[in-house]
Amino acid sequence: MHELSLAENIRDLIVERAATEGFRKVEAVWLEVGALSCVEPDAMTFSFAAVMADTPAQDARLEIISVPGEGQCRQCRHRWQVRELYDCCPECGNFGMDVVQGKDVRVKSLAVI
């Protein structure tokens, strides 16, 4: 359940921004979750609600934006939408690719008052 500590990171980020940007309430948080990021959206939604008590983001809405995984084959350099880290290249059939996109979890934006 590392989503809990990731949610705590989001909370810390929001508390810091509240001080520097001068807002008192967060209405919504847009979170980009990569398909290969080892974050389960349901677990994140649950953890998010649990850790935001007594912060500006208490009762904030969490909007999860799914970012598809993208990999590049090491053999033939073909790029494709990867679902699992052990997918083989649909072009040449080889295993072994570099993840180009989809490993990250990013706070994209906040709706603040």
Partner 1 sequence: MCTTCGCNGAVSHQHGHHPHASHDHEDQARILQVEQNILSKNDQYAATNRQMLSDHKVAAFNLVSSPGSGKTTLLVKTIQRLKDAARIAVIEGDQQTELDAQRIRETGVSAQQINTGKGCHLDAHQVGHALEHWSLDELDIIYIENVGNLVCPAAFDLGEAARVVVLSVTEGEDKPLKYPDMFYASDLMLINKIDLLPYLDFDVEKSIEYARRINPDIQVLQVSAKTGQGMDAWIQWCRQTKVSPARATVIPGEFVCNTAS
CB of 45 to partner 1, least distance (A): 14
Tell me whether residue 79 or residue 103 sits nearer to partner 1 (CB atom).
103
What's the one-letter identity of residue 98? D
- Contact between 9 and partner 1 by CB under 8 A: the answer reads yes
- Binding residues with partner 1: total (CB under 8 A): 36
Binding site for partner 1 (CB under 8 A): 1-2, 4-6, 9-10, 12-13, 17, 21, 23, 27-28, 31, 36-38, 74, 84-86, 88, 95-96, 99, 104-113
